[in-house]
Structure 1
Amino acid sequence: MQFQGTKEYVATDDLKVAVNAAVTLERPLLVKGEPGTGKTELAKQVAGALGLRMIEWNVKSTTRAQQGLYEYDAVSRLRDSQLGDARVNDVKNYIRKGKLWEAFEAGEKVVLLIDEIDKADIEFPNDLLQELDKMEFHVYETGEMVKAKHRPIMIITSNNEKELPDAFLRRCFFHYIRFPDAQTMKKIVEVHHPGIKDSLLTAALTQFYEIRETQGLKKKPSTSEVIDWLKLLLAEDLSPEDIARDGADALPKLHGALLKNEQDVHLFERLAFMARGRR
Structure 2
Amino acid sequence: MQFTGTENYIASDSLKLAVNAAITLEKPLLIKGEPGTGKTMLAEELAKALDTELIQWHIKSTTKAQQGLYEYDAVSRLRDSQLGDDRVHDISNYIVKGKLWQAFTAEKRPILLIDEIDKADIEFPNDLLLELDKMEFYVYETQEVIKAKQRPIVIITSNNEKELPDAFLRRCFFHYINFPTPEEMASIIDVHHPNIKQELVQTALSVFFNLREVHGLRKKPSTSELIDWLKLLLAEDIDAKTLHDKTHKGGLMPLFGALLKNEQDVSLLEKLAFMAKRG
TM-score tier by shorter-chain length is: over 0.9
Count of aligned pairs: 278
Counterpart residue number, 1:74: 74
- Which amino acid in 1 is paired with 2:112? L
Counterpart residue number, 1:3: 3
Matches within 5 A, 1:231-246: 231-246=231-246
Query: Given that residues 247 and 275 in structure 1 are in contact (C-alpha distance below 8 angstroms), is that contact kept between their aligned partners in structure 2?
Result: no
**Superposition deviation, residue 247 in structure 1:** 7.9
- Which amino acid in 2 is paired with 1:69? L
- Cα distance in 1 between the residues matched to 2:81 and 2:174: 49
Counterpart residue number, 1:141: 141
SS of the residue aligned with 2:137? strand
Counterpart residue number, 2:227: 227
**Superposition deviation, residue 245 in structure 1:** 4.4
Counterpart residue number, 2:56: 56
Deviations 1:200-251 (A, max 9, x none): 1101100100001100100000000000111111122222111114388431
Query: Given that residues 245 and 251 in structure 1 are in contact (C-alpha distance below 8 angstroms), is that contact kept between their aligned partners in structure 2?
Result: no
Matches within 5 A, 1:240-259: 240-246=240-246, 249-259=250-260
- Cα distance in 1 between the residues matched to 2:245 and 2:18: 40
The normalised TM-score by structure 1 is 0.97
Counterpart residue number, 1:128: 128
Contiguous gaps of at least 5 residues in structure 1: none
- Cα distance in 2 between the residues matched to 1:36 and 1:186: 16
Counterpart residue number, 1:217: 217
**Superposition deviation, residue 177 in structure 1:** 0.3
Query: Given that residues 52 and 109 in structure 1 are in contact (C-alpha distance below 8 angstroms), is that contact kept between their aligned partners in structure 2?
Result: yes
Contiguous gaps of at least 5 residues in structure 2: none
Counterpart residue number, 2:165: 165
Counterpart residue number, 1:26: 26
RMSD, aligned CA: 1.1
- Cα distance in 1 between the residues matched to 2:222 and 2:245: 20
Counterpart residue number, 1:184: 184
The normalised TM-score by structure 2 is 0.97
Counterpart residue number, 1:269: 270
SS of the residue aligned with 2:244? coil
- Which amino acid in 2 is paired with 1:240? A
Query: Given that residues 247 and 276 in structure 1 are in contact (C-alpha distance below 8 angstroms), is that contact kept between their aligned partners in structure 2?
Result: no
Identical columns (%): 68
Counterpart residue number, 1:35: 35
**Superposition deviation, residue 33 in structure 1:** 0.4
SS of the residue aligned with 2:241? coil
SS of the residue aligned with 1:52? coil
> 4+ residue runs of structure 1 moved beyond 6 angstroms?
none
**Superposition deviation, residue 273 in structure 1:** 2.2
